[in-house]
Amino acid sequence: MKVSIIGSGYVGSVSAACFAELGHEVICIDVDEEKVKMINAGKAPIWEEGLDGLLQKHSQKTLIATSDYEYAVANSDLSFICVGTPSGEDGGIDLSIVKAASASLGAAIGKKEGYHVVVVKSTVVPETTEKVVLPIVEEFSGKKAGRDFGVAMNPEFLREGKAVYDFMHPDKIVVGAIDERSGFAVAELYRGLDCTVTRTNPRTAEMIKYVNNSFLATKISFANEVGNICKQLGIDTYEVMDAVGTDFRIERRFLNCGAGFGGSCFPKDVRALIGKAKGMGYEPQLLDSVVAVNERQPLRMVELLQRKLGHINGKRIAVLGLAFKNDTDDIRESRSIPVIAELLRLEAIVTAYDPMAAGNMKRIFGNITYCSTSSEALSGADGCLVMTEWEEFGKLDREFEGMKEKIVIDGRHLLKPEKLTARIDYEGICW
Ligand code: NAD
């Protein structure tokens, strides 16, 4: 099949490369010319395991990139909208990029002869596909949905860092369509992937994505709440969760307490669902608490450090880990951001290290020192905060010797102080 993918970020570039791998002809559309050039040169615009290889394999053969909507739509049967849906100022979803992409797509569909399917893959709150995207495409194309073009919603569940693997090995594919023809076309694209396929309406597909992410976020905030209580009681919360997680109704995963969840999805998606609920007059108390616990958690890291150091101003603090999780360079809503902001507010001198994400963090904090190794960041430091679960941080030992005061607050349950040669003053956020 012939597919165009609008937006070449994490979801768009991975979907494009994987659809090409599944045997489809793919055209990527992006307004960022730099990304267009990179994809056409067979290079991944973001770091994601396996993505470079797939782009090298398919670029200029069955995968090309352009900024020209008209060309892409004329030469494809379906277009996936994969642009960002950030939080607006009030925390609700900001649909301005989706609207802009829908308008460009509509204009291109207006010039095309023949049927085309519009597929929303961006995470959008229930009713967006039918009440926002569909009317914009109708307006700009001058054509009728259901007759001249199809409309579907196909949420994406991939995890950053494992995105290529997840796309090729999904546990579910959800297709919400306004009619059988659109839904069938989308489902056909995934033929050959072995998983549950849920065919439904667009609103339900949109809601499935939010419920999926909100439930996982709720599990994490629940684990953090329990962890905070356990710490005060001197109980090992990991031992508690290991036992509780054996209950098949609960499941052990996502019950690790730590510095909280970040990333481009969980925080903004929970806020978007809250915004949608409040907009309809419903107070989502549980979801509000999920966010509140998550906002408090990283600040607990600084509080624990402060308790040990007495005061923080003028102290040199090493922050290990800037990415929101390991194996990615993505720093969106990383828990390191509120931590660094708080350290700077308290007038600490911050040295930071991350194997991949320093370049991105420089755009937010230009006034801290970025180091090229953990040792460099730790050298002469009065305290250390472990913020991201990079495997290499779990192997640190002698590197701590270079610290002035060897205070280490672990936000990710990575270090085993009793097994280290270095004598450190260790404390876990919830243990
Ligand atoms: P992103 O910001 O990495 O990428 C968006 C891309 O769209 C950028 O390359 C940007 O240049 C491009 N773009 C912006 N305006 C455009 C326009 N008018 N026309 C064409 N291209 C345009 O975003 P992302 O992380 O890939 O997320 C995209 C959507 O997928 C969001 O709704 C997100 O919630 C959802 N999602 C993300 C993930 C994830 O792990 N990142 C997982 C599942 C779902």
Counting from 1 in the atom list of ligand 1, the atom nearest the Cα of 32 is 11
Same domain, 70 and 215: no
Is residue 6 in contact with ligand 1, taking CB distance under 6 Å? yes
Residues 9 and 94 in one domain: yes
Choosing from 182, 200, 218, the residue where a domain stops is 200
Co-location of 161 and 270 in the same domain: no
Mutate to test the pocket of ligand 1, among 4, 11, 79, 85 (most ligand atoms within 8 A of CB): 11
Indicate whether 293 and 193 sit together in one domain: no
Which of the following is catalytic: 18, 82, 265, 384? 265
Question: Interface pTM (ipTM) of the complex?
Answer: 0.99
Considering the domain architecture, whether residues 10 and 101 belong to the same structural domain is answered as yes
Give the end of a domain, one of 200, 216, 248.
200
Three-class secondary structure assignment of the chain:
CEEEEECCCHHHHHHHHHHHHCCCEEEEECCCHHHHHHHHCCCCCCCCCCHHHHHHHHECCCEEEECCHHHHHHCCCEEEECCCCCECCCCCECCHHHHHHHHHHHHHHHHCCCCEEEEECCCCCCCHHHHHHHHHHHHHHCCCECCCEEEEECCCCCCCCCHHHHHHCCCEEEEEECCHHHHHHHHHHCCCCCCEEEEECHHHHHHHHHHHHHHHHHHHHHHHHHHHHHHHHCCCHHHHHHHHCCCCCCCCCCCCCCCCCCCCCHHHHHHHHHHHHHHCCCCCHHHHHHHHHHHHHHHHHHHHHHHHHCCCCCCEEEEECCCCCCCCCCCCCCCHHHHHHHHHHCCCEEEEECCCCHHHHCCCCCCCEECCCHHHHHCCCCEEEECCCCHHHHCCCHHHHHCCCCEEEECCCCCCHHHCCCCCEEEECCC
Write the residue with the smallest CA distance to atom 1 of ligand 1. Answer: 9
Asked whether residue 297 falls in the same domain as residue 327, the answer is yes
Model confidence pLDDT, tens digit, residues 139-198:
999 999 999 999 999 999 999 889 999 999 999 999 999 999 999 999 999 999 999 999
Does ligand 1 lie within 6 Å of residue 317's CB atom? Answer: no
CA distance 422 to 398: 6
The domain that holds 428 is classified in CATH as 3.40.50.720
Kindly give the distance from the C-alpha atom of residue 8 to the centroid of ligand 1, in angstroms, as a whole number: 7
User: Separation of 121 CA from ligand 1 center, angstroms?
Assistant: 9
pLDDT in tens, the chain (431 residues): 999 999 999 999 999 999 999 999 999 999 999 999 999 999 999 989 999 999 999 999 999 999 999 999 999 999 999 999 999 998 899 999 999 999 999 999 999 999 999 999 999 999 999 999 999 999 999 999 999 999 999 999 999 889 999 999 999 999 999 999 999 999 999 999 999 999 999 999 999 999 999 999 999 999 999 999 999 999 999 999 999 999 999 999 999 999 999 998 999 999 999 999 999 999 999 999 999 999 999 999 999 999 999 999 999 999 999 999 998 899 999 999 999 999 999 999 999 999 999 999 999 999 999 999 999 999 999 999 999 999 999 999 999 999 999 999 999 999 999 999 999 999 999 99
Residues 21 and 104 in one domain: yes
190 and 265, same domain (yes or no): no
Known binding positions for substrate:
157-160, 209, 254-258, 262, 325
188 and 267 in a single domain? The answer is: no
Please work out whether the CB of residue 11 comes within 6 Å of at least one atom of ligand 1.
yes
Q: Domain of residue 24: give its range.
A: 2-200
pLDDT at res. 382? 98
Tell which of 200, 224, 252 closes a domain: 200
For residue 384, indicate whether it is catalytic: no
151 lines ligand 1 (CB under 6 A): no
Instruction: Please tell me if the CB atom of residue 264 comes closer than 6 angstroms to any atom of ligand 1.
Output: yes
30 touches ligand 1 (CB under 6 Å): yes
* pLDDT tens for each residue of 195-208: 999 999 999 999 99
Pocket test for ligand 1, best of 82, 164, 270, 334 (most atoms within 8 A of CB): 82
Name the domain count of the chain: 2
What pLDDT was estimated at residue 160? Answer: 87
Residue 82, ligand 1, Cβ within 6 A = yes
Q: Does 234 lie in the same domain as 316?
A: yes
Do 213 and 185 reside in the same domain of the chain?
A: no
Dist. CA 6 → ligand 1 center (Å)? 9
277 and 420 part of one domain: yes
Q: State the pLDDT at residue 301.
A: 97
